[in-house]
Amino acid sequence: MRRPRLYLPRPLRSDSEIAVTDDRARYLRTVLRLRPGAALVVFNGEGGEFEAEVLALDRKAVRLRIGPWHEREAESPLKIHLGLAIAKGERMDWAVQKAVELGVAAITPLLTARCNVRLEGDRSEHKRRHWQAIAVAACEQCGRNRVPETLTPQALADWLPGRRGLVLDPDGRPLAALPAPDAELSLLIGPEGGLTSEELDRARAAGFAPAALGPRILRVETAAVAALTAVQLCWGDF
């Protein structure tokens, strides 16, 4: 039986006991419904994972015994930084979740000319924390021991400088016809209405090669999954 996994962003050491509180404790008690003696896996994002056992539970905390550490990784050899135009609501949540499952190293939500989402004031940081929590949950589910960073949403023009990679463009070349990237790749995916001609020109000038995924126009969240899958098949670990 597959053991549940828990992300704990703190120093962890074998043969020690720790107390888990707040939302992480509630997750163990009410979602996973663990009991004393239950086995689980914990990781802190620094690489590898620890065996663990539930010692005791109460309304305030869950006590765990930390067991042996295992040097197990599930990271792609291709470090992908996804620049994704922000979609509305659950569509963006779903895209972030699947991008993490598909192996991205980092995600930057982007504001573009045709993006119909506006983030003002504290809302930008609130959404970043929300998407980061989705990334954590996706790592717990899919077996990754390093959590991709979800960066603060920013304008496309601010994200492009200093990067090279691919931009999805219906008029671009097939991935198989493009040269293999180095160990790192930036992948730019525009909004529902697509990037404007000026934005595409700016991306190409920055060093992004236009890439097509076939004759059909995909929604933002579909394009993210399709592009990441294709990239991992061509140059990653699929």
Q: Residue 231: helix, strand or coil by DSSP? A: helix
Pair (46, 130) in one structural domain? no
Mean pLDDT of 167-179: 93
Element (H, E) at 24: helix 22-26
Predicted local distance difference test score (pLDDT) of residue 120: 74
Pair (84, 166) in one structural domain? yes
Asked whether the predicted pLDDT for residue 16 surpasses 70, the reply is yes
pLDDT band (50, 70, 90) for residue 205: very high
Pairwise CA distance, residues 165 & 76, whole Å:
16
Q: Residue 103: helix, strand or coil by DSSP? A: coil
Predicted local distance difference test score (pLDDT) of residue 63: 96
Pair (188, 121) in one structural domain? yes
Look up residue 27 and give its DSSP letter. I
Pair (175, 193) in one structural domain? yes
Pair (231, 121) in one structural domain? yes
Look up residue 9 and give its DSSP letter. -
pLDDT band (50, 70, 90) for residue 1: low
Total domain count for the chain? 2
Predicted local distance difference test score (pLDDT) of residue 190: 96
Pairwise CA distance, residues 12 & 162, whole Å:
36
Pairwise CA distance, residues 222 & 238, whole Å:
18
Pair (224, 127) in one structural domain? yes
- Check which CATH number belongs to the domain holding 60 and give it: 2.40.240.20
By residue count, the chain amounts to 238
φ and ψ at residue 192, rounded to 5 degrees: -55, -40
Domain that includes residue 172, residue range: 79-235
Pairwise CA distance, residues 56 & 36, whole Å:
5
Pair (132, 37) in one structural domain? no
Q: Where do we find the tokens 């959590």? A: 147
Pair (149, 208) in one structural domain? yes
Write out pLDDT tens, residues 63-120.
Answer: 999 999 999 999 999 999 999 999 988 999 999 999 999 999 999 999 999 988 877 7
Pair (55, 92) in one structural domain? no
Write out pLDDT tens, residues 29-63.
Answer: 989 899 999 999 999 999 999 999 999 998 889 99
- Check which CATH number belongs to the domain holding 142 and give it: 3.40.1280.10
